[in-house]
Homo-oligomer: A and B are copies of this chain.
Amino acid sequence: MSLDETSHKPHDRLAAFLAEDMAAVNTLIRDRMASEHAPRIPEVTAHLVEAGGKRLRPMLTLAAARLCGYAGAHHVRLAATVEFIHTATLLHDDVVDESRQRRGRPTANLLWDNKSSVLVGDYLFARSFQLMVETGSLRVLDILANASATIAEGEVLQLTAAQDLRTDEGIYLQVVRGKTAALFSAATEAGGVIAAAPEDQVRALHVYGDALGIAFQIVDDLLDYGGSSAVIGKNTGDDFRERKLTLPVIKAVADASEAEMAFWRRTIEKGHQGDGDLAEALAIMARHGAMERTRDDALAWADKAKAALAVLPPHDLRDMLSDLADYVVSRVN
């Protein structure tokens, strides 16, 4: 999602507050993506890293650590770790999805080839692993190992759940954790752990990251159908065309009449889609209030994220994280 649309955005305030730490993270990322003998690696990585993602995940780590009073240097390593894992998953995702554009630029698999994307992704995973080991914290390693497994499992699940109308909200949530929330929650939790925060705060940071990530992804999935207004824009319906079972469709399928079920079977399961099918899908979803109920779910996850922050110490960063949760759902509210 784009976070550039309003001024005083919490993301920009976080970036300003954490500017010095983020500069150190960027230096470390550039340093560690180098490879003396395989120049293909920094080429591919730089293409993606310098395309200017929002660096939301490393900022979550830095914010969590600072918020818990951390004054060391490991949070910078952790933040770079998290960004490397994210970049590696993007490289592999683009191969899996056969994507041609990412962040407004041609994808690495298009500019180079799938081979380079697979292998450079593996390299970034390995580099992230080295960085984590440097923090010397087995608990941090445990958190990130578990997140890595959740991410990979969620990706495979998404692959097999696509086109399968039996996909329910439970499976959707697992896919969403894999795609987004597992790395968000690992980013915030690891920040608390490295700061040696009390257990209840570490737990709260995990819950915050998890709920924020889920809200973030539900909003993304909702916007793919034009948001709750259900106006068809130029990018509307990509998930429908790719026959992905996202939350609005899952809700509509759960309540489907026999005729509607036949429609979903034809368009999602069999992939026979024609003119007017997207409009029909939106009409069916509107009939069951699927968009509104999806939006309500996103808002509830954002509320859960904000509520989790209560046990954390009062701090400008805490306010920014709370505002970030509101901001993430503001585009559909």
B-binding residues in A (CB < 8 A): 35, 37-41, 92, 95-96, 114-116, 118-120, 122-123, 125-127, 129-130, 132-133, 136, 138, 141-142, 144-146, 148-149, 151-153, 155-157, 159-160, 171, 174
Which are the 8 A-B pairs with shortest beta-carbon distances? A126-B148, A123-B152, A126-B149, A122-B152, A38-B156, A129-B145, A130-B145, A96-B115
**Most chain B CB within a 10 A radius of its CB, from A96, A146, A152:** A152
Q: Which residues of B contact A118 (CB under 8 A)?
A: 92, 95-96, 118
**A170 to B316 alpha-carbon distance, docked (Å):** 53
Choose among B37, B115, B133, B171 the residue that contacts A141 (Cβ–Cβ < 8 A). Answer: B133
**A115 to B114 alpha-carbon distance, docked (Å):** 11
With A133-B138, A146-B130 as given contacts, are A156 and B96 in contact (CB-CB < 8 Å)?
no
State the oligomeric state as a number of copies: 2
With A145-B130, A146-B130, A157-B38 as given contacts, are A114 and B138 in contact (CB-CB < 8 Å)?
no
A293 CB → nearest B CB, Å: 24
With A35-B153, A133-B142 as given contacts, are A159 and B126 in contact (CB-CB < 8 Å)?
no
Contact B156–A40 (Cβ < 8 Å): yes
Q: Which residues of B contact A122 (CB under 8 A)?
A: 92, 125, 148, 151-152, 155
Contact A133–B153 (Cβ < 8 Å): no
Choose among B37, B39, B136, B174 the residue that contacts A37 (Cβ–Cβ < 8 A). Answer: B174
What would 15 A/B residue contacts be, using CB atoms closer than 8 Å? A37-B171, A38-B153, A39-B160, A95-B118, A96-B118, A118-B118, A119-B152, A119-B159, A122-B151, A123-B156, A125-B125, A126-B151, A130-B148, A132-B145, A133-B141
A91 CB → nearest B CB, Å: 10
Contact A145–B160 (Cβ < 8 Å): no
Contact A40–B160 (Cβ < 8 Å): yes
Residue of B nearest to A44 (CB): B156
**A138 to B129 alpha-carbon distance, docked (Å):** 12
**A126 to B157 alpha-carbon distance, docked (Å):** 15
